[in-house]
Amino acid sequence: MDFHYFLALPVPAEAGETIAQWKQKAKSSLSFKKWVHKNDYHITLFFLGAASQEAVDGVSHAIRRQSREFPRFSLKAGKTGFFGRPEAPKILWAGVEGPQVLQQLQSRVSETCGSFGFSKETRPYHPHITIARKWQGNDSFPSRIETVPPLKSMKWTVEEVVLYRTHWHTEPKYEAVEKFPLADDIGK
């Protein structure tokens, strides 16, 4: 079976439930082809894609050591946005705000994965939680999003980085393969 892997920050169940409740209200107004299952919400740090077990093991070993160099930190989410053309976006997301340590962690993870031969992302890092994919509405997205109440603000502490594996034909589709704890102290 051809698995794809990625490294991400998990979204806790309480925040996932808040997004799922908003999603239920939004679905009546917003016509996306695919809505993400509430147990699949995450904040991607690096997408590995299809990879050999040897490469995944190498990345895991390196991230296990490095994660302890970063303190736990707080994240805030709640503002919705999109990627793609305004009239027909590819991705609907909840934006994420965090301290500088989030950018530093993502940069280190990216460098580490690059050292194992994985292609680095060339676009600037924009942390987000994907809620839906592929607009298919007849109306333009901006006119429809105006009819949806705003997503409630959420805040939580990030305690770990997770290596996920994708199962293409199940829901939820992401399986946590390994967890890499951050340091016990809290960063600002």
| Active site annotation includes 37 | no
Q: What CATH number has the domain bearing residue 30?
A: 3.90.1140.10
- The band of 169, judged by pLDDT with boundaries at 50, 70 and 90, is confident
Number of domains observed in the structure of the chain: 1
Copy the structure tokens of residue 111.
Answer: 């460098």
**Annotated catalytic residue within 4, 37, 42, 167:** 42
> Does the reported pTM lie above 0.85?
yes
| Active site annotation includes 128 | yes
CA geometry: angle at 163 spanning 157 and 169, to 5°?
115
Domain span at residue 48 reads 4-186
Reply yes or no on whether the pLDDT at 2 is more than 80.
no
Position 187 scores a pLDDT of 55
The residues, any chain, with a CB within 8 Å of residue 11's CB and separated by 6 or more, are 19, 41, 42, 43, 77, 129, 156
